[in-house]
């Protein structure tokens, strides 16, 4: 599989891939033939970095804690007067807003608050029933809000928590600084199992945990390794060491999962900015395609894929679009 460049758009501050559209913040007017929706923002300097999408709309907040909605069908930006705060997460129509008074869970389609908590949550993830997030500045507590039963409870932490990811509807995986991963049942409030996912790899070399629901597996890029965790069998194994078969010394930086494709950024020297991006086939673990940055430029995050197009933004604020 190869990806061929179809266009490059300069002076792009950010791009957001939604359910139906791809939104961009761009200083110059872009051509409609690029199939991109331009947001009425000149830069990200006055806006929080989190942009959430729902159907044909994108939601964002500024540093005055005002919420806005932009609809691609009407091409209009409107202020959401009912709520204020910083957006934290979303799942379909459920958004989480954090303000000075605590956390509000909102059904954005109906524009009604479902529940309010007095604590301010961070690193929030949601499913249709649960909202999970760290409490406090140091994140030493994890609070679970059960929307269905209008209740909340704490998950006891093993050590410093790095990442939380959803597994199915009622299960959550917690990834700790020491490489420990445990699986927690939110419905029964019980820990199902705990494993040492990575041994001998320093925590600052970990990339994102990636969950593939259809395969019941979690993947992790760390240093030059790809680890695979089978949720049902509770087995973790080293799926591949990419330094064993390549002259290029890999240090993975960021990653995303799209069904059978894993996109990534990486560098060939520890501590360097990500100057390489690529696509791995999840089932075979083979690197299908890579691209290098120009000298002095680096990629800001792993490529994103929508339909048959791949998008990646570099540090020169150039958005590169490739077709499969």
Q: Which domains are delineated in the chain?
A: 201-324 (2.130.10.10)
238 - beta bridge partners?
A: 227
Query: First-to-last CA distance in the chain?
Result: 7
Tell whether the model's pLDDT for residue 245 goes beyond 80: no
Encoding tokens for residue 215? Answer: 């395969």
Q: Report the DSSP pairing between strands 225-230 and 235-241.
A: antiparallel
86-90, 126-130, 304-308: least confident range: 86-90
Assigned token pair, 75:
């091409």
Q: How far is CA 85 from CA 16, 20, 81, 102, 321, in A?
A: 20, 25, 11, 9, 33
Beta bridge partners of 121: 135
Q: Are 274 and 299 in contact (CB under 8 A)?
A: yes
Tokens at residue 141, please? 């507590």
pLDDT band at 322 (very low <50, low <70, confident <90, very high): very high
Residue written as tokens 């459920």?
Answer: 94
Cα–Cα distance measured from residue 38 to residue 72, given in angstroms and rounded to the nearest whole number: 9
Q: What is the pTM of this model?
A: 0.88
pLDDT band at residue 15, thresholds of 50, 70 and 90?
Answer: very high
* Euclidean distance between CA atoms 21 and 285, whole angstroms: 30
- What mean pLDDT comes out for the span 10-25? 91
Report the run of H or E that residue 145 belongs to, with start and end: strand 141-146
pLDDT over threshold 70, residue 56? yes
Whether the CB-CB separation of 322 and 314 falls below 8 Å is answered with: no
Closest to 197 in 3D by CA, of 212, 219, 169, 216:
219
What is the residue whose two structure tokens read 């679009």? Answer: 321
Q: With beta carbons less than 8 A apart as the criterion, state whether 175 and 165 touch.
A: yes
What is the SS3 assignment for 244? helix
Phi and psi angles of residue 68, each rounded to the nearest 5 degrees, phi first: -130, 155
């Amino acid at each position: 599989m190869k990806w061929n460049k179809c266009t490059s758009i300069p002076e792009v501050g950010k791009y957001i891939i939604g359910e139906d559209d791809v939104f961009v913040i761009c200083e110059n007017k872009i051509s409609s033939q690029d199939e991109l929706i331009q947001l009425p923002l000149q830069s990200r300097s006055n806006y929080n970095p989190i942009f959430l999408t729902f159907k044909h709309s994108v939601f964002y907040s500024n540093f005055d804690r005002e919420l806005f909605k932009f609809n691609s069908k009407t091409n209009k930006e409107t202020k959401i007067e009912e709520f204020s705060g910083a957006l934290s997460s979303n799942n379909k129509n459920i958004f989480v807003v954090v303000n000075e008074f605590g956390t509000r869970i909102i059904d954005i389609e109906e524009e009604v608050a479902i529940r309010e908590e007095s604590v301010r949550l961070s690193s929030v993830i949601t499913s249709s029933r649960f909202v999970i997030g760290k409490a406090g500045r140091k994140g030493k507590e994890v609070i679970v809000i059960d929307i269905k039963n209008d209740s909340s409870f704490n998950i006891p932490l093993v050590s410093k928590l790095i990442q939380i990811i959803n597994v199915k509807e009622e299960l959550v995986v917690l990834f700790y600084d020491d490489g420990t991963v445990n699986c927690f049942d939110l419905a029964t409030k019980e820990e199902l199992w705990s494993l040492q996912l990575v041994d001998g790899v320093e925590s600052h070399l970990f990339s994102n945990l990636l969950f593939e629901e259809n395969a019941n597996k979690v993947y992790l890029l760390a240093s030059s390794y790809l680890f695979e965790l089978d949720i049902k069998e509770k087995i973790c194994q080293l799926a591949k060491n990419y330094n064993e078969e390549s002259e290029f010394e890999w240090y993975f930086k960021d990653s995303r999962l799209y069904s059978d494709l894993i996109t990534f950024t990486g560098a060939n020297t520890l501590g360097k900015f990500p100057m390489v991006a690529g696509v791995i086939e999840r089932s075979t673990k083979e690197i299908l395609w890579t691209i290098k940055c120009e000298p002095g430029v680096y990629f800001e995050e792993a490529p994103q894929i929508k339909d048959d197009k791949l998008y990646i933004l570099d540090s020169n604020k150039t958005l590169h679009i490739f077709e499969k």
